[in-house]
Structure 1
């Protein structure tokens, strides 16, 4: 299997992390709103995809700032 160059690691990480977490959040919100019903999976996907489309690019943009904030609270390894 071919692998991506290391320079793509942060973007792939953000893609997968935002995909999974936004799917979980969207699914919980939809379930709480409509309950267990026919078509629940479709509703979850319809809610999730636009949210992911917003969250992923934002994660790429804000990640450097978040890393700077985190570095202020974490002691570097020696």
Structure 2
């Protein structure tokens, strides 16, 4: 399977994050709101779709702010901006 070019990473990461988070959160919220009736799955899918349509563009919009806040809180290492793991202590020796 061919991989997407690296330039798509800023879109793919928020897309995957929003899909997974909205899946879990909408499922829990739906369960808490209506219990487990026979139509649970159809109600959940509707809630998930609506929540994802809102979450994905929101993540894209706030991503630059989150990166700046993260950089202000977390010590960065060379390569950290690309998401690559820092070198192991042995590799630095």
* Interval of TM-score (by shorter of Structure 1 and Structure 2): over 0.9
**Is 1:64 aligned to 2:64, yes or no?**
yes
> Normalising to structure 2: TM-score of the pair?
0.79
Aligned residues: 78
> Normalising to structure 1: TM-score of the pair?
0.93
Structure 1: gaps of 5 or more residues:
none
Moved over 4 A (4+): none
Query: Rg larger in 1 or in 2?
Result: 2
Structure 2: gaps of 5 or more residues:
79-93
Higher fraction of helix? 1
SS across alignment from 1:2: coil
Considering only aligned residues, what root-mean-square deviation do their CA atoms show, in Å? 1.1
